């Protein structure tokens, strides 16, 4: 996707805030034991599809938790619709993706630790 318009960014911000509150309250029933963070929200230009990137903490089964949330997408969309009914004409279709930025950062830190422990080569 290219750059988003101000309208898309504003709508994405509303969606992100509402979904974050929903996951904070009800996320335990959708993914028991996991702490779910909505890291990024992208919206199509027609505001019909929202791509939600989630980060899972305190869980070893992030992919299974993501599948569980995907199976509840219609329920989540319905609850989101009740929250944004005065701000949007249509309730967008929700697509959920795993944001693995944290795992990537941890992986890179491990690599840098290994590199820093190796003996230096003389110049």
Coil, helix or strand at residue 55: strand
| Inside any domain, residue 123 | no
- Specify the CATH number for the domain of residue 27: 3.30.300.20
* Domain presence at residue 122: no
DSSP character at residue 118:
S
> Residue 23 domain-assigned?
yes
DSSP designation for 42 = E
Residue 16 — pLDDT band, cuts 50, 70, 90?
Answer: very high
**Within-domain flag for 28:** yes
Nearest to 42 by CA among 77, 1, 82, 71: 1
Helix (H, G, I), strand (E, B) or coil at 50: strand
Under DSSP, the state recorded for 2 is: -
Q: Is 89 a residue whose pLDDT tops 90?
A: no
* Residues 41-82 pLDDT 10s: 999 999 899 999 998 887 788 888 889 899 999 999 999 999
Instruction: Tell me the pLDDT band of 123, cut-offs 50, 70 and 90.
Output: low
**Domains of the chain: total:** 1
CA–CA separation, 66 and 96 (whole Å)? 7
**In a domain? residue 91:** yes
**What residues make up the domain containing 105?**
6-117
In a domain, 1, yes or no: no
């Amino acid at each position: 996707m290219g750059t988003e318009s101000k309208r898309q960014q504003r709508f994405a911000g509303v969606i992100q805030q509402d979904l974050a509150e929903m996951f904070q309250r009800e996320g335990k029933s959708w993914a028991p034991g996991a702490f779910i963070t909505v890291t990024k929200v992208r919206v199509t230009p027609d505001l019909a599809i929202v791509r939600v990137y989630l980060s899972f903490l305190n869980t070893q089964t992030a992919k299974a938790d993501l599948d569980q949330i995907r199976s509840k997408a219609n329920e989540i969309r319905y609850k989101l619709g009740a929250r944004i009914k005065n701000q949007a004409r249509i309730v967008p279709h929700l697509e959920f993706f795993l944001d693995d930025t944290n795992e990537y950062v941890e992986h890179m830190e491990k690599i840098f630790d290994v590199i820093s422990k190796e003996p230096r080569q003389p110049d």
